[in-house]
Amino acid sequence: MHTIEQDHCEIVRDSLAGNRTIDEQTFASINVLAESLENVRKQHRTFIDIEFSPHVQALAEQELKLAVS
């Protein structure tokens, strides 16, 4: 089954791998996935310690740096 989350995962994965440009869509996808993760954490406390990889976290921080610049 192909889901919207898969599309966002593919965008982030391809951006990290250098197969697509890191752009607004990349950051939007990270934000959608972060919201989904937060919802899962709220519904299932078992997943409270699940985090994005350090690479995705660093990519998300780039958006914050760009916003401040």
Q: Which of 52, 33, 54 is nearest to 25 (CA)?
A: 33
Amino acid letter at 30? Answer: I
Number of H helices, E strands in the chain: 3, 0
Q: What is the CA radius of gyration of the chain?
A: 13
pLDDT digits (tens, 9 = 90+) for 2-44: 677 789 999 999 999 999 999 999 999 999 999 999 999 999 9
Region 43-64: mean pLDDT is 92
Residues 67 and 54: their CA atoms lie apart, in Å, by 20
Domain boundaries defined on the chain: 4-68
pLDDT at 68 over 90: no
